[in-house]
A and B are shown apart, each in its own frame.
Chain A
């Protein structure tokens, strides 16, 4: 996938995050479209490309709310590294692992973000984590599952096929 396509996907994700996420929030938990995109993009890529994608996606997200500039870039670079490392080498490519990856990615992203936002205040981090992060992770993971079925079920993107061909 060329960088322009990746940038277009970033921007689409950001638009979804800025426009729709608030409207479909359940009990204060918003789906994290950007994490879903990050997992989808990092999964079938080499580690360096995945890290650069993670950093860029996080940085663009940071630009939208610059008070913690660098926070999302940091978190998403780490997540992208992890996904490209673990996902690419050890995990089979199916919907359950995709959902599990999104779930974990949201939790890691939130743990890092909450620690930065609350300056490592354990009580605040823990409170927000249990109040919002878990539900957000479940919500995003289910959304990722739906997207996975839509995309691969309809054969719109040949990631799975491409991967199986490579294997």
Chain B
């Protein structure tokens, strides 16, 4: 009792110090795995807000870096755009000289897939845009990688899109490098075959296929897929060309309906970008 009184009455401060030092030393001498496990249990509760805030600051840093990179990219794109505008004007002048019809590029309407078809070979999806949004039968549908299909049915607020991996859908394609034309037909999964390619035609693995615009079913110039295998059929006149689609047709989520063309002179996107950058720099 006297000893306890000595410890806790007369030297309480020193006793507390010795106690915490002993506890610290015990922790320090625990096996490492045990220390880490114990700490993990405590930190998951205690340090959760700290980690959360640390991560927030780290993400702010990343965003700042990303912002700098994007600014650099925008500057490069503006420069590139000026160059392209000069090419555009030159191209238009030359087309006029040659008497070509004016061509256009496309306007996209974003949409989301709200349902998939249940049939195994007649693949289609339903998207959340319909008649009220201006969607019409026959419009092409793409995702950010390439062609996906075309609208076959339109409802007031939705539309059914027949995918290119549908047995009844064929796409006229051109080899982007050699300009060889063929008809792309679905085989299985994401794999397609390019039909009607002659045995002497120049097609190679890694070549990109784009829509040809022939037949007016799909607009011209959209990427569709890439060739991965070319084989000559024995004694045949045609080559067996296998291709894979760029878009993962089984995992479609955000799509774009090609709602029409717009003239090269209409620089809506660039104008908006310019407006934004002026607004930011305070120039009216």
Contacts and interface: CB of A to CB of B under 8 A. Distances in A.
B23 interface: yes
A70 B50 contact: no
Interface string B160-171: 000000000000
Contacts of A46: 13
Given A52-B20, A69-B30, A74 B25 contact: yes
Chain B contact patch, size range: 20 to 34
Contacts, number: 89
A81 B17 CA distance: 7
Contacts of A97: none
A116 B27 CA distance: 13
Contacts of A63: 39, 42-43, 46-47
B50 A15 contact: yes
A52 B24 CA distance: 12
Given A15-B54, A18-B54, A48 B28 contact: no
Contact of B16 (A51, A59, A68, A69): A51
A77 B49 contact: no
A74 B21 contact: yes
B114 interface: no
A58 interface: yes
Interface in B35-73: 35-36, 38-40, 42-43, 46-47, 49-50, 53-54, 57-58
A64 interface: yes
A141 interface: no
Interface in A78-93: 78, 81
A70 B43 contact: no
Contacts of B17: 47, 51, 77-78, 81
A86 to B, nearest CB: 13
B26 interface: yes
Contacts of A14: 47, 50
Contact of A68 (B13, B26, B28, B43): B28
Contact of B39 (A20, A55, A66, A71): A66
Contact of B53 (A15, A58, A60): A15
A74 B46 contact: no
Contacts of B26: 70
Given A70-B26, A73-B27, A48 B38 contact: no
Given A51-B16, A81-B17, A66 B50 contact: no
A-B pairs, top 9 by smallest CB distance, nearest first, are A70-B27, A66-B39, A70-B28, A74-B24, A47-B13, A55-B20, A73-B24, A70-B24, A69-B35
